Amino acid sequence: MAVVSSFHSALLPFSSPSIPIPILNPVNCEKRRRWTSYSTRLQCSSCPDEAKRISEQSSWESKDSEGKDYLYRLGQEADNMNIAVGARQGVIDDLFVGNFLGKDSDIVFDYRQKATRSFEYLQGDYYIAPAFLDKVACHIVKNYIAHLLNVKVPLILGIWGGKGQGKTFQTELIFRAMGIEPVIMSAGELESERAGEPGRLIRDRYRTASQVIQNQGKMSCLMINDIDAGLGRFGNTQMTVNNQIVVGTLMNLSDNPTRVSIGQKWRESDVVHRVPIIVTGNDFSTLYAPLIRDGRMEKFYWQPDHEDIINIVHQMYAKDGITRDEVIRVVDTFPNQALDFYGALRSKTYDQSILQWVNDTGGYEKLGEKLLKGKKDGQLSTFVPPKQSVEALLESGHSLVKEQHLITNSRLSKEYMKNIDD
């Protein structure tokens, strides 16, 4: 003891107030750091009055079924964002998960999930073809109760048919009627400058639809529009790695609809909801054959009959005061036309009224300035829509047919205009 005390007394006069001095503990001969300021000490781990570590006070160290804490699992996952956790019981302290937030509420869901689509803008009564409604509704219901059925249920519904037949619009009307909040993708998202990105995006959108079901309590699905435009094999088109990965991703989702990875480590507890997939296209014969086989994709060819066309066009012209008999006259005058043709008729009748409105606002010279400033200030001239009549619709129809024949005869797109009779 005397030796140690004299050693202390020899060192202390030369020590600076800001320099820690290693000394020997007389009890267990361990090195300790001691500051010359006696009011501040670093306590050793063996002292009974040591403060509890922060990590031991946090529920972030809650163990999962494999005995691993949450921070370990975060480190194992790729591209993980902390905001994806939300307020979940057993992960965040109970103080912040109280009943006012719900036991498993995701407090940032509305800010993260922007891929979902709602259809409040579809106002008014629209006609839904019964055959179309039965097929889409049956496919969605079958996938939601697939665990109760003793049959193989295809995950994908492929709706195909001619151009402009209302495949996408009819599907959106069904989503609105059934209260479904889908995740929408287009063919333009099926290619990227980075290999593997589109396949990962499909899996991510699929998991997003699963989160809508789990967190919002709403039915959801994944819809890909014009899939043959992104994955179809045409005459001289080149097959890319992303095309192959997207096809493989859709095939894997069909075979394993509840186990979807976006790059993170596989976990037995990571099971997502089964989400039905709906794709639209014009020609599925250009797709990879194993993808469209019966076990993975259920095909539905949509070609509206004469009665469906009349009912749809009648609802389209209902606000214009066009009667059903007048609609039949227009449809019979222009047979073998797609549904978008009759929508173009109504749009073309507005041309003369718009040109008159331009002249009323001062002509073409200052049109840009008036359009931008008037729209911002709310001082645009009132536009009076034209009064629709059968004669105006027929005149617009003959003008469109003339344009179609000019395009066909110029060899610009004979395949696109194949519905026109020679």
Domain 111-301: top CATH class: alpha beta
pLDDT in tens, 12-50: 444 444 444 444 444 444 444 444 444 444 444 444 444
Residue 279 is predicted with a pLDDT of 96
**Could you give the CA distance from residue 391 to residue 44 in angstroms, rounded to a whole number?**
96
pLDDT in tens, 349-394: 888 888 888 888 777 777 877 777 766 676 777 788 888 888 889 9
Residue 203 is predicted with a pLDDT of 92
Q: Which of 13-27, 153-167, 399-413 has the highest mean pLDDT?
A: 153-167
Q: What kind of fold does domain 306-419 have according to CATH? A: Helicase, Ruva Protein; domain 3 (1.10.8)
**What is the average per-residue pLDDT within 128-132?**
93
pLDDT in tens, 198-251: 999 999 999 999 998 988 888 999 999 999 988 988 877 778 899 999 999 999
**Could you give the CA distance from residue 261 to residue 77 in angstroms, rounded to a whole number?**
10
Residue 387 is predicted with a pLDDT of 85
Residue 153 reports pLDDT greater than 80: yes
Residue 419 reports pLDDT greater than 60: no
Residue spans per domain, the chain = 111-301, 306-419
Provide the whole-model pTM: 0.67
pLDDT in tens, 82-120: 444 445 555 555 555 555 544 444 444 444 445 677 776
φ, ψ (nearest 5 deg) of residue 164: 65, 25
Instruction: Enter the tokens of residue 266.
Output: 């596989």
Q: Please answer whether residues 220 and 275 qualify as being in contact, where contact means their C-beta atoms are separated by less than 8 angstroms.
A: yes
**Could you give the CA distance from residue 172 to residue 181 in angstroms, rounded to a whole number?**
10
Instruction: Enter the tokens of residue 350.
Output: 């507005």
Residue 402 is predicted with a pLDDT of 85
